[in-house]
Amino acid sequence: MDLPARVVIYCPALEMKNKQGNLVSISDLGYYEVRLDFADQNHTAFLPIDGTVLVFAEPNPVTELLPGIER
């Protein structure tokens, strides 16, 4: 995973659903550092890993599995 990365954020504690942002880092202390746009300005937010879902905006590349290879 390359950072920064565009993500869609779901954080019920902050009533965020489908909020677009950029994931900057993942802290060992239990939070995501994200950049969000609010009122036409860019802000940094620290969201708790517990209770926050991030979905990467870019889809995974489609690759074909080779026959005979077990996963």
pLDDT in tens, 10-66: 999 889 999 999 999 999 999 999 999 888 899 999 999 999 999 999 887 777 666
Q: Where does the pLDDT of residue 1 fall: very low under 50, low under 70, confident under 90, or very high at 90 and above?
A: low
Q: 32: burial class by Cβ within 10 Å (0-12, 13-18, 19+)?
A: buried
Domain boundaries, the chain: 5-56
pLDDT for res 2: 80
Q: How far lies 28's CA from each of 1, 14, 25, 63, in Å?
A: 16, 21, 10, 32
The residue type of 1 is M
pLDDT for res 38: 85
Q: What is the pTM of this model?
A: 0.77
